[in-house]
Amino acid sequence: MISVLFVCLGNICRSPVAEGSFRQLVAEAGLSEQIQCDSAGTSSYHIGQLPDRRTRDNALERGLTLTHRARRLTGEDLAQFDYFVAMDEQNLEAIEKLNYRATGLHTSDTIFLLREFDPAVNDQPNVPDPYYEGPEVFEEVYQICHRCCGQLVTYLAQQHKFLLNDRLVE
């Protein structure tokens, strides 16, 4: 079983959308027995809270019910998860620092920015934080997460030689 942790600042907007989209895409690909996921935040601002109401409403319009409760990224996560996917460079740096303290390694080939998997040609490395923004940014975040997570599913299927919808992905 491969495990993926999506990480943003408060774990109430971006990472829950990525987690929900990824979980849905994994199920659609027939990989629920091979890949699992969760999400966390690098801050403790919202621990125990449901995702932001605007995030949940936007996701629900696409058939995603987000019931995750916000939690903070911990050192224990490094042992429990195989891949870490940050929503922006600030959170990527927080994961890398935690990893360095735990392992002494400066880099890892299992820590990514979500937009590294963005098939849209784009020079923006970060998923925008919609918290102080309007509904159009929540929609943009959903679209980014959904398309990037689709590519991430394919990447993991290739890396681990999983059958994707009953066929091997080359």
Catalytic site positions: 8, 14, 129
Q: Is 22 exposed, middle or buried (0-12, 13-18, 19+ CB in 10 A)?
A: buried
Neighbour-count burial for 130-148, b at 16+ CB within 10 Å, e otherwise: bbeeeeebbeebbebbbbb
Helix (H, G, I), strand (E, B) or coil at 159: helix
Residue type, 23: R
Residue type, 140: E
Strands 111-113 and 83-86 turn out to be parallel
> Which residue in the block uniquely carries the two structure tokens 């309007």?
134
Sheet of strand 35-41, all strands in order from the earlier edge strand to the far edge: 35-41, 2-8, 83-86, 111-113
